[in-house]
Structure 1
Amino acid sequence: MRHVSKVFSNGTLALKDMSLDVRGGEFISLLGPSGCGKSTALRIIAGLGAPTSGSIDWPTSKINQKGLPEGDIGFVFQDPTLMPWSTVYENVRLPLKLKRVAKADSHDRIMDGLASVGLADFAKSYPRELSGGMRMRVSIARAMVTRPKLLLMDEPFAALDEITRQKLNDDVLRLWRQFGMTVIFVTHSVYESAYLSSRIVVMRARPGQVYSDLQIDQPPTREGDYRTSEGYRQTCQTVSEALQSAITAAEVRP
């Protein structure tokens, strides 16, 4: 992102002069209070909205008509956004169908995607037959089925209970390591960002800007007792202090 600003039609200045470099293979969390522009920034990166000024620059020559890298982006929304009239299998197939990939050529990729999130046995089920956490897993499988290099996630677990949220955090970390993709993850949870990230970008409130950029020096494999480790506690404290500082800075901004 190069000096990106976003003004909505009602005059709201959501982002102001926001710049952000993302390196391949990183797991970046965008952390900040509600209304600070995290989701707006993510949607601009995804091409779901245009910046009022500034630009998004991609390190590839394969750019489509919308200015995005061809086939390289997956997006997981806050809600699963599944088609209720379609099976789990057909929901995951949707991105491949839009790309006009033949059904016979899609089957293995769909089943691999479902297996990667533990839902291979639910391919013929409908969304109404699944729990909230299972529906979100379907959404993740759908985003992964095209093998994206960049996965964008917009507070996907915010509405889930803590046990389900922790399990899905572990699943996402496993997929990140398995496929070597880059992840940008929007959250307002200090604890979630500290657990998931290799890097945390703290934003301050509207207009959104990068306030601090924290490199997380913790092992990429964070399972078992990591949530009760001293390293995790210290990371949470550092991130919490950075977030509080960003909130204070926004409050005293003229």
Structure 2
Amino acid sequence: MSAAQTSSTVEASLTALAVSLRGVTKAYDNGVMALGPLDLAVRKGEFISLLGPSGCGKSTALRLIAELTAPSSGIVRLARHEGPAQPGHGIGFVFQEPTLMPWTSVRENVRLPLKLGGVPKAEARARADQALASVGLADFADAYPRELSGGMKMRVSLARALVTDPDILLMDEPFAALDEITRFRLNNDLLALWRSLGKTVIFVTHSVFESVYLSQRVVVMTARPGRIQADIRIETVEPRGEEFRTSAAYSDYCRRVSAALAPSYSGQSTL
């Protein structure tokens, strides 16, 4: 292969990446080394889960990708688009708690990012309604957060993250506080959205079962400072459904991921 061909191949592989972390560390002012060194590459349109013990830096990694904080060392690169900024060229973030404004409607909660971005009211309203429809809440646009169940509030949070049409969707344990039935239903709905919208999804969870069910890759992290213990590709027939959740392949993957996770817990402090 010629030098030109090699350069072209490398360039093509880089443009296929949505997120790249190279030698990334994060130390806090109190001296705690939270993360790294961490090397992670996520391709455009990929769904990965970050799995690891509490305090291993999973949420810190999301904040670094979202540029909410800066790394202490290393490089964080996101896919960038040339020319003027356009919808769909950013990041959507779904936090552990819905963090909805209780004094205003569901529609206005979802419209907030567009309002802050100066999008005209009529357009923003239409886009908010479309985002709510995509998460199954078209009939609740005029409701208030206090009138919603926990699962519905999380759907509103997801709609708010999607309303700007981001390329990358970051999700920080969004379903952890929900009952199992609601969690299963939202897992299925999230997969359907991912397939239809083609977003790159980086999903943080403590659940082996959830990570295997949702992800194309499960990235298992060590105890603090978080590094990659294992990167396990989940290969199965798509689209996934309850058949996969009850299959022998699913059980095998769960055992494999659990085995990769075990050293992180065995060496973790109980403090």
Please give the TM-score of this superposition, normalised by the length of structure 2: 0.87
Q: Give the Cα–Cα distance (whole angstroms) in 1 for the partners of residues 67 and 92 of structure 2.
A: 11
Residue deviations 1:29-87 (CA, integer Å, cap 9, x gap): 000011111001111111111111112112324599xxxx9842000000001111110
* 8 A Cα contact 2:88 2:164, kept in partner: no
Counting only pairs closer than 5 Å after superposition, residues 103-122 of structure 1 correspond to structure 2 as 103-122=121-140
Q: CA deviation at 1:141?
A: 0.4
**Are 2:248 and 1:230 equivalent residues in the alignment?**
yes
Q: CA deviation at 1:226?
A: 2.2
* 8 A Cα contact 2:53 2:222, kept in partner: yes
* 8 A Cα contact 2:218 2:232, kept in partner: yes
Q: Give the Cα–Cα distance (whole angstroms) in 2 for the partners of residues 225 and 213 of structure 1.
A: 24
Residue deviations 1:191-249 (CA, integer Å, cap 9, x gap): 0000000001100000111111111111231113321111111111111111113434x
Instruction: Give the equivalent residue in structure 2 for 1:220.
Output: 238
**Equivalent residue letter for 2:255:** Q
Instruction: Give the equivalent residue in structure 2 for 1:25.
Output: 45
User: What is the number of residues matched between the two proteins?
Assistant: 247
Instruction: Give the equivalent residue in structure 1 for 2:66.
Output: 46
Q: Give the Cα–Cα distance (whole angstroms) in 2 for the partners of residues 231 and 158 of structure 1.
A: 24
* 8 A Cα contact 1:200 1:213, kept in partner: yes
Structure 1 segments unaligned to the other structure (5+ residues): none
Q: Give the Cα–Cα distance (whole angstroms) in 1 for the partners of residues 239 and 181 of structure 2.
A: 19
Instruction: Tell which structure's C-alpha radius of gyration is larger.
Output: 2
Instruction: Give the equivalent residue in structure 2 for 1:60.
Output: 80
Of residues 124-133 and 215-224 in structure 1, the stretch that sits farther from structure 2 once superposed is 215-224
Kindly report the root-mean-square deviation, in angstroms, between the aligned alpha carbons of the 2 structures. Answer: 1.8
Q: Give the Cα–Cα distance (whole angstroms) in 1 for the partners of residues 60 and 39 of structure 2.
A: 14
* 8 A Cα contact 1:62 1:70, kept in partner: no
**Local SS of the residue matching 1:56:** strand
